[in-house]
Amino acid sequence: MSVVIENLSFTYMPGTPYEKRALQDITLSIREGEFVGLIGATGSGKSTLIQHINGLVKLQSGKLRVFGIDLSARKIDYKLLRKGIGMLFQYPEYQLFDETVLRDVMFGPKNFGMSEAHAYESAKRAIELAGLSFDEIKDRSPFELSGGQKRRVAIAGVLAYNPEILILDEPTAGLDPVGKRDILELITKLKGGAIKTIIMISHNMDEIAAYTDRIIVLDSSRLVYDLTPAELFEKKDELPALGLDLPTTVKIKNLLAEKGFHITEPALDIASLYAQIISKLGGRHE
């Protein structure tokens, strides 16, 4: 198991007039190899949950194990925990800081104690895994790159220290449609190879539906659903109350059903919706 959470509750500023319950009685497990979506309205508790997993907030009640590290233990090896988790915050390119791409990407491995030579090799591998040409980009300033390239450099900076779990907060925010698709395809390619487990926060239901294996839904500090995308997006009447939209493909499928054109299989991405419409039309298409 990558992450095991049992009956976790958390309150900010407990015992003060400002106390705020952020998580209530959360129980869930994430297996190695899963690509999990974490969704819910603003303020539902997503960031607080992620900050528990990477050890940025201290466990108050319940149990939490992250790849074998018990976060309720008296002594916690935070360095080992942080090395095992690649965290990409929103707009990660804002955290690029060094003079060259190579130095920026080597920062993480060096910070975790790798030798200069080992950090160089790790950075090289990570830059290539992120879909960039090492020789072309290594000596350039991160600040002169395109938006999509900068985001890839930020991803490389995390891949360079070989984390077990990659946590992404709105990884495609601010990119154009092609840039969004490229980043999601890169992330999908990393899964099962360089990265074992992926957790993605997103408000974009098209991306969540098309790319994740399983979706965890928070609402006002509680876990309300833990389902596959196909199961979750069947709940078209419940989702608006949770502040959640439906994926475009599911909206089209539902509109067609209202007109008497019923597609029975889940349609979680445009290719599968298209294939099903064509097959229902008897396969006649150009």
> How many residues bind to ligand ADP according to rule CB under 6 A?
12
The reply to whether 149 sits near ligand ADP by the rule CB under 6 A is no
Tell me which of 22, 66, 183, 210 binds ligand ADP, using CB under 6 A: 22
CB 30 within 8 A of CB 3: yes
Is 20 among the residues that bind ligand ADP (CB under 6 A)? yes
Comparing CB distances to ligand ADP, the nearer of 48 and 172 is 48
Main-chain phi, psi angles of 51, to 5 degrees: -65, -25
Q: Which is nearer to ligand ADP, 46 or 110 (CB)?
A: 46
> What does 122-169 look like in DSSP terms, one character per residue?
HHHHHHHHTT--HHHHTTS-GGGS-HHHHHHHHHHHHHTT--SEEEEE
Report the distance separating Cα 49 and Cα 38, nearest Å: 10
What is the number of H-type helices and E-type strands within the chain? 11, 10
Site for ligand ADP contains 45 (CB under 6 A): yes
Q: How many CA atoms lie within 13 A of 14 on its CB side?
A: 10
**Contacting residue, 5, 46, 126, 157, with ligand ADP by CB under 6 A:** 46
Alpha helices in 55-115 (DSSP H): 78-83, 101-111
Q: Which of 44, 54, 212, 276 binds ligand ADP (CB under 6 A)?
A: 44
Contact 35, 211 (CB under 8 A): yes
Tokens 């992404």 -> residue: 168
| Residue range at the interface with ligand ADP (CB under 6 A); choices 41-49, 91-99, 207-215, 239-247 | 41-49
* Nearest-angstrom CA–CA distance, 201 and 89: 10
Nearer to ligand ADP, 46 or 124 (CB): 46
- How far apart are the C-alpha atoms of 129 and 94, rounded to whole Å? 21
Task: Using the minimum distance from each CB to ligand ADP, give the nearer residue, 130 or 216.
Answer: 216
Does residue 47 interact with ligand ADP by CB under 6 A? yes
Q: Rounded to the nearest whole angstrom, what is the least distance from the CB of residue 14 to ligand ADP in the complex?
A: 10
Which of 198, 133, 126, 127 has the alpha carbon at shortest distance from 162?
126
Q: Which stretch binds ligand ADP (CB under 6 A): 39-47, 68-76, 87-95, 108-116?
A: 39-47
Which residues fall within 8 angstroms of residue 17, CB to CB, at 6 or more apart? none
The residue range among 40-48, 87-95, 146-154, 170-178 that interacts with ligand ADP, by the rule CB under 6 A, is 40-48
Q: Rule CB under 6 A: which of 104-133 touch ligand ADP?
A: none
The answer to whether residue 262 forms part of the interface with ligand ADP (CB under 6 A) is no
The correct pick among 6, 43, 238, 270 for binding ligand ADP (CB under 6 A) is: 43
Question: Pick from 8, 26, 35, 48: which binds ligand ADP (CB under 6 A)?
Answer: 48
Residue numbers of the site for ligand ADP (CB under 6 A)? 12-13, 20, 22, 40, 42-48
